[in-house]
Amino acid sequence: MASTNVLQLNDSNFDSEINKGSIPVLVDFWAPWCGPCRMIAPVLDKIADATVGKAVVAKVNVDEAPGVASRFRVSSIPTLLFFKNGEVNGQVVGLQSEADLTAKLTALM
């Protein structure tokens, strides 16, 4: 079951949500047809649930938000971008472990 703590972003709400506060945001660029994206989703749900109030986990469906995906030059998915104060502060592409993702996010808190 998907976490209710994961924020859904698109071309119209991306900037306002990313620039909303000073807590870090982990953004997953994904698509429903992407196998590795589906594999990492439960990991991101766990991280979202564990970091409520300290960080935000968000998802961007690249098929539904091509503008945002293009702006950040997302060419492979899953691509995960780490934002702090509205600026990209790290990027990983492909499947990652929960520990690695949590460490990168925690470093921005």
Question: Could you tell me if residue 45 is inside a domain?
Answer: yes
Question: Of 37, 43, 57, 68, which one is the catalytic site residue?
Answer: 37
pTM of the model: 0.94
Token pair 């509205």 is found at 86
pLDDT at position 57? 96
The domain in which residue 71 lies consists of 6-107
Catalytic entry in 7, 23, 31, 34: 34
| Catalytic annotation present for 85 | no
CB 57 within 8 A of CB 9: no
- Report yes or no on 1 lying in a domain: no
Instruction: From first to last of the 109 residues of the chain, give the pLDDT tens digit.
Output: 566 889 999 999 999 999 888 899 999 999 999 999 999 999 999 999 999 999 999 999 999 999 999 999 999 999 999 999 999 999 999 999 999 999 999 999 9
At 56-82, the pLDDT tens digits run 999 999 999 999 999 999 999 999 999
CATH number at residue 42: 3.40.30.10
> 19 lies in a domain?
yes
What is the total count of domains within the chain? 1
Per the listing, tokens 């698509």 go with 31
